[in-house]
């Protein structure tokens, strides 16, 4: 395999981060077969901020106000919110989220991230979980970054159906279908 030139690598770096701003320097280092320091230098030369700044930038661009619960009650950090359409959050798995003996994330943490994102997605003052069907696909470990996306599929008669998918490094680890009750003033 032919080694990329610096310019080719930097162009592909820009493209990859445009498609997925949540890639870490470690992910990029692996993808390009170069050191983390090389990736950091490439980012600097291309004026690409570090991961935290990229996440904040995405959050500022795509953020409605959460109505159904206080923002500090959402599990994870909401980085995109378009009420009644789509919401995305990230959660970095830390010591308090895992079983101590095997460093695997507790299932209720992943469920809570998905469930609270569904509540936040609803454009109403009140949203409660009526039912859910979830599937845990792969274990999540200490240090993993879980990206969860919730998409509203249907909203009528005080019920909203939302599909959720969580992934770690673009590998699906959790899926769910949530039916949410909402107050819906003025609706039948």
Domains of the chain (ranges, CATH numbers): 6-57 (1.10.10.10), 62-182 (3.10.129.10)
With cut-offs at 50, 70 and 90, classify the pLDDT of residue 56. low
Give CA–CA dist 47/14, Å, rounded. 10
Q: What percent of the chain has pLDDT over 90?
A: 56
Look at phi and psi of residue 4 and say left if phi exceeds 0, alpha if psi is from -120 to 50, else beta.
Answer: beta
pLDDT tens, 90-129?
999 999 999 999 999 999 999 999 999 999 999 998 899 9
Any residues with CB less than 8 A from the CB of 156 and at least 6 apart, and which? none
Give CA–CA dist 110/155, Å, rounded. 24
Residue 86 near residue 152, CB atoms below 8 Å: yes
Beta carbons within 10 angstroms of residue 46's beta carbon: 12
What pLDDT sits at residue 53? 73
What pLDDT sits at residue 177? 98
What pLDDT sits at residue 63? 56
Give CA–CA dist 62/3, Å, rounded. 37
pTM exceeds 0.75, yes or no: no
List residues bridging with 133 in a β-sheet. 177
Mean pLDDT, rounded, for 16-22: 80
Q: Is pLDDT at 71 greater than 70 in this prediction? A: no
């Amino acid at each position: 395999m032919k080694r990329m030139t610096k310019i080719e690598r930097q162009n592909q770096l820009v493209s990859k981060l445009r498609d997925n701003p949540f890639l870490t320097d470690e992910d990029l280092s692996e993808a390009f077969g170069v050191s983390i320091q090389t990736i950091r230098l490439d980012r600097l030369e291309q004026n690409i901020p570090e991961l935290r700044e990229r996440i904040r930038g995405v959050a500022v661009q795509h953020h409605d106000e959460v109505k159904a619960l206080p923002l500090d009650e959402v599990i994870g950090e909401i980085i995109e919110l378009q009420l009644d359409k789509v919401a995305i959050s990230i959660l970095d798995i830390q010591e308090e989220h895992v079983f101590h003996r095997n460093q695997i994330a507790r299932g209720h943490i992943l469920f809570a991230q998905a469930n609270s994102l569904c509540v936040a997605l609803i454009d109403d003052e009140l949203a409660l979980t009526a039912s859910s069907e979830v599937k845990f696909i792969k274990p999540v470990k200490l240090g993993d970054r879980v990206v969860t996306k919730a998409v509203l599929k249907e909203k009528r008669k005080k019920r909203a159906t939302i599909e959720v998918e969580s992934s770690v490094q673009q590998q699906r680890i959790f899926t769910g279908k949530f039916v949410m009750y909402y107050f819906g003033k003025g609706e039948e």
